[in-house]
């Protein structure tokens, strides 16, 4: 085979998306809500917990601080490195974070965990039916899968960011399944039932994450523009079409109108999500 026709390694678009920016810049505003959410989930010392799409540990580290034995998995190499740095700085010895794909948890044995949790992580992995099957496969009988998923067309921040950005980006490839379908109860139930969970063991509630930062919503938007993969892609596409200023105006209006801090130099923005619990 000639040099010009040598096969190039296939790039995983999901991996590329989350390695493109630096999600730690956004995650820094999610720490308090991550800790509060884990505190409500009855995590106990000695529990085996898998945190999928863990990023730099927003919910994985709080679970470890409660005494659980935690494995974090994320597809982005830079976020795995950031998580391990935070673990080392915290002096935690009961948590490990490694690279991996939520749709194929190869190397993780069946029924290894009491709880599999994923907050705004595994929802972005392709092949959602495979994701559901893998989460159910690695959780023990009597254990549970817990997901936090953004809700399509919800009026709060993240759903609106993704909705606005999608209007500026090229249509997705054929066969693409929107991650936002994880925010629809019927879709979630169907996926987990196919993976072997009894329908009556699947429950839903609405909950809220607060993005909090000691800087303005305008600065917060700039972090999304510079560091959050989906927003970065939207601005790349908008700039090519001469619509970057239009996108900036839409997002600026969104961020500023949703700020609940009462102070233009502080950000406190709620985002509603679907909290899913599925008991095996």
**Strands (DSSP E) along the chain, which ranges?**
48-52, 69-74, 95-99, 113-119, 139-150, 202-213, 267-279
The whole-angstrom separation of Cα 18 and Cα 121 is: 10
Q: Identify the pLDDT of residue 13.
A: 83
Q: Identify the pLDDT of residue 16.
A: 83
The whole-angstrom separation of Cα 227 and Cα 272 is: 22
The whole-angstrom separation of Cα 163 and Cα 165 is: 6
Adjacent-strand bridge partners of 51: 72, 117
Q: Identify the pLDDT of residue 128.
A: 97
Q: Identify the pLDDT of residue 10.
A: 60
Q: Identify the pLDDT of residue 152.
A: 97
Give which of 65, 56, 70, 61 is closest to 28, Cα–Cα.
Answer: 56
The whole-angstrom separation of Cα 24 and Cα 27 is: 5
- Report whether 272 contacts 151 (CB < 8 A): yes
Q: Identify the pLDDT of residue 3.
A: 45
Q: Is 13-153+175-212+271-279 a domain of CATH 3.40.50.150?
A: yes
Predicted confidence pLDDT, tens digits, the chain (280 residues): 444 444 445 678 888 888 888 999 999 999 999 999 999 999 999 999 999 999 999 999 999 999 999 999 999 999 999 999 999 999 999 999 999 999 999 999 999 999 999 999 999 999 999 999 999 999 999 999 999 999 999 999 999 999 999 999 998 888 889 999 999 999 999 999 999 999 999 999 999 999 999 999 999 999 999 999 999 999 999 999 999 999 999 999 999 999 999 999 999 999 999 999 999 9
Q: Which residues make Cβ contacts (< 8 Å) with residue 42, sequence separation at least 6? A: none
């Amino acid at each position: 085979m000639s040099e010009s026709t040598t096969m190039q390694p296939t790039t995983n678009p999901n991996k590329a998306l989350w390695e493109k920016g630096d999600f730690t810049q956004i995650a820094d505003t999610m720490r308090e809500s991550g800790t509060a959410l884990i505190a409500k989930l009855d995590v106990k010392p000695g529990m085996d917990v898998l945190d999928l799409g863990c990023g730099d540990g927003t919910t994985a580290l709080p679970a470890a601080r409660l005494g659980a034995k935690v494995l974090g998995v994320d597809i982005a190499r830079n976020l795995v490195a950031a998580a391990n740095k935070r673990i080392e700085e915290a002096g935690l010895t009961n948590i490990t974070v490694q690279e991996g794909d939520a749709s194929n948890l190869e190397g993780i044995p069946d029924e290894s965990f009491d709880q599999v949790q994923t907050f705004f992580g595994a929802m972005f992995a392709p092949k959602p039916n495979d994701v559901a099957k893998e989460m159910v496969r690695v959780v023990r009988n009597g254990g549970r899968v817990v997901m936090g998923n953004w809700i399509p067309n919800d009026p709060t921040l993240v759903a609106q960011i993704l909705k606005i950005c999608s209007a500026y980006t090229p249509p997705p490839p054929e066969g693409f399944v929107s991650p936002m379908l994880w925010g629809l109860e019927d879709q979630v139930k169907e996926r987990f039932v196919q993976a072997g969970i009894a329908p009556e063991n699947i429950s839903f509630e609405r909950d809220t994450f607060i993005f909090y930062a000691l800087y303005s919503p305008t600065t917060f938007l700039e972090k999304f523009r510079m560091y959050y993969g989906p927003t970065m892609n939207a601005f790349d596409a908008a700039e090519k079409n001469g619509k970057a200023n239009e996108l900036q105006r839409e997002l600026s209006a969104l961020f500023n109108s949703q700020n609940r801090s009462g102070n233009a130099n502080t950000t406190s923005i709620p985002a509603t999500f679907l909290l899913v619990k599925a008991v095996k």
